Amino acid sequence: MHIHKFEKIWLIFGITTLIVFLSVIGVSAFYLGNQPPSCLATINPEKVDTTAPFDEPGLKKVEGKEWDYELVFVASAFAYNPGQVEVPKGAKVKVIATTKDVIHGFQVAGTNINMMLEPGYISEYVTTFDKAGDYLIVCNEYCGVGHHMMSSKIKVVE
């Protein structure tokens, strides 16, 4: 069987690229321990309302952590709880969110905050709000007939 010179070159290039790609993924996953964040924290979706910190959603000042505030949201059928919250400008905030029913999106317009909320999992994101103003929170995962009305607001104040 005769393989043309250029075909051999492309086969060697393709196989080498595949080996390098799989090696990088393997080292990243097994040696460095990088894994998807959704596997870090879980919660029973039937007991969200009685499990801290989701039993009292909203903004709370914290001490002794890398962030100044914890902002807790609970998503459920076509609403976020709380509906609106005020955050001080320049504060480092850890956003903690989950859902009780179906998959919801959690996107804060004008920022890099974009999380998928899945029943049984806790999503977290640490950010600093440097600009004062209103930031709309929208659900960017279709969750049912009232999906288009699902929103909340973060008001960053001086």
Q: How far is CA 83 from CA 44, 80, 104, 136, 140, in A?
A: 23, 6, 15, 10, 17
Give pLDDT, residue 37.
59
Cβ–Cβ < 8 Å for 108, 93: no
Q: Can you give the pLDDT at residue 42? A: 85
Q: Within the chain, which residues score under 50 in pLDDT?
A: none
Note the pLDDT of residue 95: 93
Q: Distance between CA 60 and CA 56 in Å, rounded?
A: 9
Query: Closest by alpha carbon to 101, among 147, 153, 70?
Result: 147
Q: pTM here? A: 0.73
What is the C-alpha to C-alpha distance for residues 94 and 92, in angstroms, rounded to an integer?
7
pLDDT at 86: 93
d(C-alpha 138, C-alpha 117), whole Å: 12
